[in-house]
Amino acid sequence: MAAAASASCLSCTSSAIMHGTVAKVNPSIALSARTSFPPLGSLQYPFRSSFRRPSVNASFCGPAIRSMVTTVEEATVGVSKGIETPVAVVTGASRGIGKAVALALGGAGCKVVVNYARSSAEAEVVAQQIEELGGAAIVCGGDVSKEEDVNALIKAASDKWGTIDILVNNAGITRDTLLMRMKKSQWQDVIDLNLTGVFLCTQAAAKLMMKKRKGRIINIASVVGLTGNIGQANYSAAKAGVIGLTKTVAREYASRNITANAIAPGFIASDMTAKLGADIEKKILETIPLGRYGQPEEVAGLVKFLALDPAAAYITGQVLTIDGGMVM
């Protein structure tokens, strides 16, 4: 038992940093609207193109060539102005991975709904940073395990911008302990938020996506949903459930041009990893072939690819691990 308890201690310490934004239960719902910036002229849905046309020196061209260049440039500008800016909902977006995702999408020009459970001040800061990056944002508080809060969240996005193009289910909590000691409430709290919350948000957002016949759903799972973990029966079960749900959503909504994928992070740097003792950190890093923690921005980069890049349009029903080689 002593050995098991010791293993549990390390597991519980490490599991708290394993991934994701901790979005604690908050029964209240609050909406704070921020100024909406106009769509960026350079934004091309479903992504902002990094392609640059080669420069042409018109002084070296004949009249016909100069006329052709002018026509092409005018046509390109017209297409850019006519394409709508994508709207993204990110749950648990006030810190950690959720914050990094919200900033990445906002920096790409998206309109972002920043959801939080308790950290309203931090969520407001995220929204302000998105606007500084050239995006637009509103802040919406709520507990995604509650249907009425989820409906209010989706309605906030719809009322403000008329639609939802991208849903990132990131909110999650942990209640770690060995199975033999786990109370039913500890089991249920994690299942309700980490799994039922994904179900509720996906079901509500997909209704809007179906009307447009397009959408991208990205669920933040965890490597423990693939491998299990001592002291995390509830969390592992919830994340495994998210993976199964993702594959089912991908099959059911594919005919409507809606993709659904899961990302399974490993150990991601956070405030908690910074407080770990040297011995515990050494043991954790020994399990990671790359020998370091992942960064929230690295997870956000993968989310951004799945959400906005045309190359991701043919990817659905997949689980992408981002864990430094832990699971392979």
Residues belonging to the binding site for NADP(+) are: 92-95, 170, 235-239, 268
Of all helices (H) and strands (E), which one includes residue 259?
strand 258-265
Dist. CA 73–CA 302, nearest whole Å: 32
Of all helices (H) and strands (E), which one includes residue 141?
strand 136-141
Closest CA to 161 of 263, 292, 37, 253: 37
Active site annotation includes 45:
no
Dist. CA 305–CA 82, nearest whole Å: 23
Single out the catalytic residue among 235, 253, 293, 314. Answer: 235
User: In this structure, are residues 205 and 151 in contact, taking their beta carbons and an 8 Å threshold?
Assistant: no
Closest CA to 36 of 146, 127, 124, 120: 127
Residue 54 CB-density burial (10 A; 0-12 exposed, 13-18 middle, 19+ buried): exposed
Tell me 44's DSSP state: B
Q: Which residues are catalytic?
A: 235
